[in-house]
Amino acid sequence: MTAINDLVSYEAKGTVGVVTVNSPPVNALSQGVRAGILGGIQAGIADDSVSALVLTCAGRTFIAGADITEFGKPPREPSLKEVIDTMEASTKPVVAAIHGTALGGGLETALGCHYRVAVASAKVGLPEVKLGLLPGAGGTQRLPRVVGVPIALDLITSGEHVPAPKAHKLGLIDELIDGDLVAGAIAFAKKIVAEGRPLVKISDQNEKLEEARKNPSLFADFRKANARRFRGFEAPENCIKAIEAAVNLPFPQALARERELFLELLAGEQAKAQQYIFFAERQAAKIPDVPADTPLIDIKSAGVIGAGTMGGGIAMNFLQAGIPVTIVETSQEALDRGIDIIRKNYTATVAKGRLTQEKMDGYMSLLTGTTNLEGVRDADIVIEAIFENMDVKKEVFTKLDRICKQGAILATNTSTLDIDEIGSVTSRPDYVIGLHFFSPANVMKLLEEVRTKKTSATVMATCMALAKKIGKIPVMVRVCDGFVGNRMLAKRTEQAQKLILEGAKIEDVDRVLYDFGFPMGPFAMGDLAGNDVSWRIRQGKGVKSPVADAICELGRFGQKTNAGYYRYEARSRTPIPDPVVEEIIEKVAKEQGVTRRPITDEEILKRCIYPMINEAAKILEEGIATRASDIDVIWVYGYGWPVYRGGPTRYADYIGVEKIYNDLLRFKETLGGEEWTPTPLLEKLAKEGKSFKDL
Ligand code: 3H9
């Protein structure tokens, strides 16, 4: 074996030369890897003892893409294009041998090879769009030549990871390998040589592009059909333009156009924000005082207390991860209703073709329902998801502590209550933790995990690992009212309510936040979630919100009652502004002596967002969140903050902390109110000319 450099080696195995990349953790295409592959391929071409080459990777995966940490730094030779050109031009067949994930530049490298083989568990894809980019090393040119333009458009603008068997059907993978990958790839390479099969250069193939040329409205139709999904994002449009270039220009010119469109995105704020979130998400998985080698509890079964909307959604996550769930309700009727909703959810997914009946049956077979709390006796983790009432929760936890086996984790899905207090009624407060799922719990990615003063490292490490297993993005925070997400949301809600009293229209507040990039504004969101939920929480705390309360007193709970902040036609979810609500607002404004005035979009945006940023600073001061970036992950994955704006603290850094500080002081002067007092941390950052990222 010859070491080409520290990261890549070359070895002739009989008549096949094997180039192996070994650059943990994910064999990303750093300068050293690029140089190593180039050197390895050149060594193989020069090696007279071999007639074919295999490119493979050591460790857990094939190349997972360009090295994202190199973006923004001066480019260093060789470029990935040079590596790919050399492979494609090789006079000996080059075969990519794929395991793990061949993503982004990794798949582009594989598409530069003449053939590709993979183990069945492998996945391939071009996920650059998720980083605010497009495949910039020929991916937008070669993929459509293999799978056709319509499928390439879908794959490149979604960034989907395609399982190897599907990729095989699409022609992306030439052969699936059973058993040892490298041995299988060598055998495949020998077969290519023996059969005298051609050196397939994808860049030369034009058949699939011809098909696309016959359908001139293809791109316009695609843009139209996906306008909602792409709203606000810059990358998908550049991806489409690059694929359009593949269809309309000769390969070299189209490749140059791809490069131009790639560099445009790379220089933009959206790509920076999306890459920031990529790393923030991975950073959030690390808890400073919980060592990486902390022993984990093996979670083989789960209990869920409460079969309401949350309980049912939580249970579904576990079922889908193959973990049996016992769900408990107080009455048979409520239990049947809850299980029926789970079944209906899955049935609807089957009907849409996104789940097989067989899989659904498998999930349902893992679900047991009972009205007896003793049913969770053997569960490794129990998650309580009943309504928000401290006395009731304490009663349930007292019973669970008695019933559940030693070593079982007792979790609560509370979104508001003091979890230290809940844990205090048990004999195992170190095994009590908050697992705050977001509605709909089977869909939303965020899992806000809440450690108490006593939660053990083992329990925290287990719950972080468990979150990943059930497909969630976990962030560990500490106990306070509303934890991180809802505590900041409360600041936005407070301003939204004040704004409509002072003269802004409900639909204007919603529009401004929608245009900022949220999936919907706060009032439409209230109507969707049910305004009665927060009304009940306010009543429990003895807190008033005059307009919100008046609306609920009229039974206007939102979409479910066809009326809330808006009105809704029967069976429609389209919000229609309602003069009745405007009258309520005017009446409350009069009662409170509020003078109404026109309010600009700029004021609406600043008043909704800046108090949240101030609260984020307070949360960091108090140590409730570990890092500013954790707060951003919470907002992106739990509240629909537009990922291309990178989360509230990243956005603050983009605008400038000092500017935000000055605006807070201006609002304090003109509007009054404690909410405008900058928190000491924000003041310190502003005065020192620093950002959240400097913390
Ligand atoms: C691209 O290719 C552009 C080209 O088209 C154009 C070029 C001209 N770079 O996720 P994990 C780190 S754009 C640098 O926890 P998993 C990650 O930060 C790229 N670092 O593991 C983490 O570090 P740490 C297109 C990377 O097993 C560690 O690896 N490719 C990169 O759950 C482990 O990661 C993508 O977008 C990278 N590319 O998942 C793929 N990737 O341990 C991005 C990972 O210090 N990567 N790291 O926290 C992924 O989707 C997942 O990492 C993967 C593994 C599925 C591969």
Over residues 434-457, the pLDDT tens digits come to 999 998 899 999 999 999 999 999
Structure confidence at residue 539 (pLDDT): 87
pTM above 0.85, yes or no: yes
- For the chain, what is the largest distance between any 2 Cα atoms, rounded to a whole number of angstroms? 92
The pLDDT tens digits for 281-311 are: 999 999 999 999 999 999 999 999 999 989 9
SS3 30: coil
**E strand spans, 22-157:** 52-57, 94-98, 101-103, 115-119, 123-125
Strand partners, 576: 567
Q: Ligand 1: distance of its center to the CA of 455 in Å?
A: 31
Closest CA to 535 of 508, 564, 567: 564
**Tokens representing 244?**
């359009």
Which amino acid appears at position 642 of this protein?
A: P
Average pLDDT over residues 399-427: 97
CB 123 within 8 A of CB 161: yes
Catalytic residue among 128, 449, 603, 675: 128
Report the atom number in ligand 1 closest to the C-alpha of 126: 25
Which amino acid appears at position 459 of this protein?
A: V
Answer whether 131 contacts ligand 1 (Cβ < 6 A). Answer: yes
The pLDDT tens digits for 233-274 are: 999 999 999 999 999 999 999 999 999 999 999 999 999 999
Report the atom number in ligand 1 closest to the C-alpha of 131: 36
Mean pLDDT of the residues in the chain: 97
For residue 205, the Cα-to-chain-centroid distance in whole angstroms is 35
**Tokens representing 267?**
């220089």
Instruction: Write down the residue that tokens 């048990």 correspond to.
Output: 426
Catalytic residue among 88, 108, 603, 615: 108
Structure confidence at residue 331 (pLDDT): 96
Helix H or strand E encompassing 302: strand 302-305
The pLDDT tens digits for 99-130 are: 999 999 999 999 999 999 999 999 999 999 99
CA distances (Å), origin 304, targets 7, 59, 382: 48, 38, 6
Structure confidence at residue 438 (pLDDT): 93
Answer whether 108 contacts ligand 1 (Cβ < 6 A). Answer: yes
Structure confidence at residue 475 (pLDDT): 98
Structure confidence at residue 416 (pLDDT): 86
Structure confidence at residue 67 (pLDDT): 96
Q: Report how far residue 501's alpha carbon sits from residue 497's, in angstroms, rounded to the nearest whole number.
A: 6
Answer whether 26 contacts ligand 1 (Cβ < 6 A). Answer: yes
Q: Report how far residue 640's alpha carbon sits from residue 627's, in angstroms, rounded to the nearest whole number.
A: 20
For residue 345, the Cα-to-chain-centroid distance in whole angstroms is 22
**Tokens representing 278?**
């990529």
Q: Ligand 1: distance of its center to the CA of 23 in Å?
A: 12
Q: Ligand 1: distance of its center to the CA of 237 in Å?
A: 23
Peptide bond into 252 cis (omega under 30): no
Answer whether 20 contacts ligand 1 (Cβ < 6 A). Answer: no
Q: Ligand 1: distance of its center to the CA of 606 in Å?
A: 35
Structure confidence at residue 500 (pLDDT): 97
* pLDDT band at 536; cut points 50, 70, 90: confident
Tell me: pLDDT of 538 over 90: no
SS3 373: helix
Ligand 1 pocket: which of 7, 26, 73, 238 to mutate (most atoms <8 Å of CB)? 26
* pLDDT band at 57; cut points 50, 70, 90: very high
Q: Ligand 1: distance of its center to the CA of 64 in Å?
A: 6
CA distances (Å), origin 554, targets 218, 321, 580, 620: 50, 43, 11, 39
Helix H or strand E encompassing 11: strand 8-13
Burial of 6 (0-12, 13-18, 19+ CB in 10 A): exposed
Answer whether 28 contacts ligand 1 (Cβ < 6 A). Answer: yes
160 belongs to the catalytic site:
no
Answer whether 277 contacts ligand 1 (Cβ < 6 A). Answer: no
Answer whether 281 contacts ligand 1 (Cβ < 6 A). Answer: no
Count, residues in the chain: 695
Number of Cβ within 10 Å of residue 427's Cβ equals 9
For residue 228, the Cα-to-chain-centroid distance in whole angstroms is 18
Percent of the chain as helix, strand, coil, to the nearest 5: 55, 15, 35
CB 156 within 8 A of CB 143: yes
Average pLDDT over residues 378-405: 96
CB 242 within 8 A of CB 137: no
Q: Report how far residue 510's alpha carbon sits from residue 70's, in angstroms, rounded to the nearest whole number.
A: 39
Answer whether 25 contacts ligand 1 (Cβ < 6 A). Answer: yes
Closest CA to 140 of 254, 6, 307: 254
Q: Report how far residue 54's alpha carbon sits from residue 184's, in angstroms, rounded to the nearest whole number.
A: 10
Which amino acid appears at position 154 of this protein?
A: D
Number of Cβ within 10 Å of residue 459's Cβ equals 26
Which amino acid appears at position 687 of this protein?
A: K
Q: What percent of the chain has pLDDT over 90?
A: 95
The pLDDT tens digits for 468-502 are: 999 999 999 999 999 999 999 999 999 999 999 99
Average pLDDT over residues 353-379: 97
Average pLDDT over residues 578-593: 95
Which amino acid appears at position 674 of this protein?
A: E
Q: What percent of the chain has pLDDT over 70?
A: 100
* pLDDT band at 17; cut points 50, 70, 90: very high
Would you give the DSSP letter of residue 477? E
Question: Which residue intervals of 330-418 are DSSP H helices?
Answer: 332-351, 357-365, 390-403
Strand pairing of 2-3 and 8-13?
A: antiparallel
Q: Ligand 1: distance of its center to the CA of 16 in Å?
A: 30
The pLDDT tens digits for 621-674 are: 999 999 999 999 999 999 999 999 999 999 999 999 999 999 999 999 999 988
* pLDDT band at 388; cut points 50, 70, 90: confident
The C-alpha angle with vertex 592 and arms to 587 and 595, in degrees rounded to 5, equals 80
CB 40 within 8 A of CB 4: yes
Tell me: pLDDT of 517 over 90: yes
Strand partners, 19: 10, 55
Ligand 1 atom 48: the closest Cα is on which residue?
A: 282
Report the atom number in ligand 1 closest to the C-alpha of 60: 27
446 backbone dihedrals φ, ψ, rounded to 5° = -75, 140
Answer whether 110 contacts ligand 1 (Cβ < 6 A). Answer: no
Answer whether 100 contacts ligand 1 (Cβ < 6 A). Answer: no
395 belongs to the catalytic site:
no
The C-alpha angle with vertex 524 and arms to 477 and 618, in degrees rounded to 5, equals 30
Number of Cβ within 10 Å of residue 91's Cβ equals 7
Name the strands in the sheet holding 123-125, side by side, starting at the edge strand that comes first in the sequence. Answer: 101-103, 123-125, 162-163
